[in-house]
Amino acid sequence: MPTDDGSPWVQHPITPRGLQSYSNAVKGLFHNSERANVRRLAALFVLLCLPCQAADRASWYGEKQRDLPMANGQRFDPDKLTGASWFYDLGTKVVVTHANRSVIVEITDRGPAKRLLREGLTIDLSQAAFAKLADPDLGLIDVTVRQQRGTGAYGR
């Protein structure tokens, strides 16, 4: 289970328990003399994958949605640094990065529309948050999204 102790396992889906399972599954493929290296190879594989982050796409929503109710019960304000996502708990703060620019947003709503998830659109940003990353006229941008440590279901 993810922890808030600064462990890299918080942000990566392979846990120490998963590493042990992976190691045990691979052991049968090697002779006894090679089994000692299996754990080291599995650990190396995991460590190399830790900095990997999947690219996501972000859109924005603004004035047309002003004052509409959000999933957290508050009214939407396009001037605040907020976002909408199905992948994070409400109240979670995430770091969204595009072209060496980053912004921290709080997940306050659900979205984008589920039909857009198939196209890789994973987060809707408020107009203010999007503007800190790129020109809103672009409409869609490629971003990297990661949970800020100490927020969300495991950090409260």
Whether 98 and 42 share a structural domain: no
| pLDDT on residue 126 | 96
Domain total in the chain: 2
Residue 79: give its domain's CATH number.
2.40.40.10
Q: Is 52 exposed, middle or buried (0-12, 13-18, 19+ CB in 10 A)?
A: exposed
Residues 89 and 106 in one domain: yes
pLDDT band, residue 70 (cuts 50/70/90): very high
Residue 117 lies in a domain: yes
Residue 60 sits in the same domain as residue 137? yes
Interacting residues of 125 by C-beta distance below 8 A, sequence separation 6+? 58, 59, 60, 61, 82, 83, 96, 103, 105, 133
Same domain, 35 and 64: no
pLDDT per residue as tens digits for the range 34-48: 555 665 666 555 545
Residue scoring higher pLDDT (49 or 42) = 42
55-60: average pLDDT: 86
Same domain, 88 and 134: yes
Domain co-membership, 33 together with 104: no
Instruction: Give residue 3's identity as a one-letter amino acid code.
Output: T
Alpha-carbon gap, residue 91 to 152, rounded angstroms: 6
Domain extent at residue 25: 8-49
| C-alpha–C-alpha distance, residues 130 and 102, integer Å | 10
Start-to-end CA distance of the chain, whole Å, equals 15
